Structure formats: C-alpha cells, structure tokens
C-alpha cells in the first residue's frame, strides 16, 4: 500500500529542548574560553551536525577563522578541533538533563501518529552517551520514539549524510524511502532528509533556526511571531524541504497530504 509507514524525528529543537539551547550555549562558552567570541548565529548555523563536525564547521567560518588566526598567529588545525571538543563534551553532559522537556504538542502528535499505525524513529547530532541522558529524561516526561540512531551507529557519519535515516529504516523494517517522513528544525536536518530520498518536513516553532526560548517566543507580539515563523519555514523550503509547518501539531495533516500525493504516484522532491 502506498502510504507513509514512519516518521523520523530529530531530537533537540524538534522533539525536546525548545529552541535547542543545550548545545548552543556550550559552543559559545568553549570558544570564549579559547579567546574567541562567536555570535549566537555562528554557533547555531551548523546545528544538527555531529558535534565535533559542528566545531570544525564553526572554525571554518571566515570571521571565526580570522579571529582564531589573530589570536594564535596561525590557522586552526585538527588538533584545535579535538581540544575544543574535549572541553565541549563534558560541559554539555553536565547540563544536558536540564534541556530534555518535550516541546509543547510533540507528545500528543506522536500519539496521534502512532494511533494511525505509524512507527516513530529518530536521528540526532548527539553522541550515544549524550542520548542516554536525553532519552532517559525525555522518557520520564512522556516522550519515547521506537528507535534512536546516533552518528556513533554510522561510523561518525552524521548529517547531512543519510545513513542515520537508513539505519532507522532497517531497524523499523520500512519498505521504501518514499514511505518515510523526516522531520527536523535545522538546515542539516533538511539536507539529511533530501539526501536520504525521504519526504522532508521542517518545523518552525521551537526550532534552532527560529532561535527563541519558549519564554522569549511567548513574549513576542503576534505579528512578530508570524513573521519569524514565515521566515523560518521559507528557509526550510529553500533548503529542499517538501513541507514546512509552524508546529508539530500540523504534522498529521501533512502526512495526510503526502498520502494523497503517493496515491497520485508522486515522490519526495515533487515540489507540490
């Protein structure tokens, strides 16, 4: 039957940790400790990647690379990447449990999708040890996907490589990529989904791309909220997403639309 079989959800910024603040604050802190001030935007830009790849990408940004060279009188090297990551990992682990609250609407949406017979997989930029903290705390708060894949399970080939999605497909016994929906909150999530050949959906509210905490989002005026959501959704679509939604509560409707497209013989990337 030509119907969606599973949803593959990202974790931070999509399912838990509204605004994806656990890692971004640590990225800023470790660069500051190294004598280089990075902006929130620079810290967020590679979000969703394996964290050591994230650090390497930040160091490759022209402005950050120039600041590093000015500080140390040489370009950054792989040793610098590894030294920063060695500081990053324990700092993140120390605070990670504080950033595991499910984003509003996620638990209800997942329950509705499961009631329709869909399986729930997940991918992440966190390592397996990080996910032990995140998943156990999220489970206590009511969120538990059917399967979790980290870059540790794919030889450290995280996003934008498609392998974590493929591992979910294997474990969940899914029959075809075009019967799978990937949902995420970052550009690297969109690239992961596109590279895997699955339907790709960006979710704006709670996302790293939007960049607001739950409190600061609620403080925004309604026109400002709608403008920020529209801009974020447009970014996802420009990066290859098939659909972009405001909140997770809109996902079941998107799945219904995709099932209609499948019945018409359409496949991911058809630009409906």
What does the pLDDT look like over 131-164, one tens digit per residue? 999 999 999 999 999 999 999 999 999 999 999 9
User: Which helix (H) or strand (E) is 200 found in, with range?
Assistant: strand 199-203
- CA–CA distance, 29 with 190 (Å, rounded to integer): 27
* pLDDT for the residue 1: 76
43 is in an annotated binding site: no
Residues in the chain predicted with pLDDT less than 70, given as ranges, are: 271-272
* pLDDT for the residue 165: 98
Following DSSP, what letter does each residue of 167-193 receive, concatenated? HHHHHHT---GGGEEEEESSHHHHHHH
- CA–CA distance, 76 with 131 (Å, rounded to integer): 29
* pLDDT for the residue 160: 96
- CA–CA distance, 160 with 153 (Å, rounded to integer): 15
* pLDDT for the residue 270: 83
Which residue ranges form the domains of the chain, and what is each CATH number?
A: 6-20+101-263 (3.40.50.1000), 21-98 (1.10.150.240)
* pLDDT for the residue 213: 94
Active site residues: 10, 51
153 is in an annotated binding site: no
* pLDDT for the residue 272: 63
Cα–Cα distances in angstroms (integers) from residue 235 to residues 18, 72, 83, 114, in the given order: 19, 35, 33, 29
185 is in an annotated binding site: yes
User: Three-state SS for 121?
Assistant: strand
Give pTM, 2 decimals: 0.92
């Amino acid at each position: 039957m030509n119907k969606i079989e599973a949803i593959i959800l990202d974790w931070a910024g999509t399912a838990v940790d509204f605004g994806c603040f656990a890692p971004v604050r640590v990225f800023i802190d470790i660069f500051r400790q190294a004598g280089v001030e990075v902006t929130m935007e620079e810290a967020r830009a590679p979000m969703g990647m394996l964290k050591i790849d994230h650090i390497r990408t930040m160091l490759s940004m022209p402005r950050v690379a120039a600041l590093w060279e000015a500080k140390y009188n040489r370009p950054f090297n792989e040793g610098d990447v590894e030294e920063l990551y060695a500081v990053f990992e324990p700092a993140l682990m120390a605070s990670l449990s504080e950033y595991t609250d499910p984003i509003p609407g996620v638990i209800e949406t997942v329950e509705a999708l499961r009631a329709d017979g869909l399986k729930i997989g997940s991918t992440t930029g966190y390592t397996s040890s990080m996910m032990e903290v995140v998943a156990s705390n999220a489970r206590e708060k009511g969120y538990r996907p059917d399967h979790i894949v980290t870059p540790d399970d794919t030889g450290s080939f995280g996003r934008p490589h498609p392998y974590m999605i493929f591992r979910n497909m294997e474990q969940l016994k899914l029959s075809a990529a075009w019967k799978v929906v990937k949902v995420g909150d970052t550009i690297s999530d969109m690239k992961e989904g596109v590279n895997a050949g699955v339907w790709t959906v960006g979710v704006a509210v709670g996302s790293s791309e939007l960049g607001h905490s739950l409190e600061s989002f609620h403080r925004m005026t309604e026109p400002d909220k709608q403008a920020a959501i529209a801009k974020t959704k447009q970014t996802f679509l420009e990066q290859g997403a098939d659909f972009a939604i405001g909140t997770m509560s809109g996902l079941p409707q998107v799945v219904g639309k995709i099932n209609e497209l499948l019945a018409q013989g359409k496949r991911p990337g058809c630009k409906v």
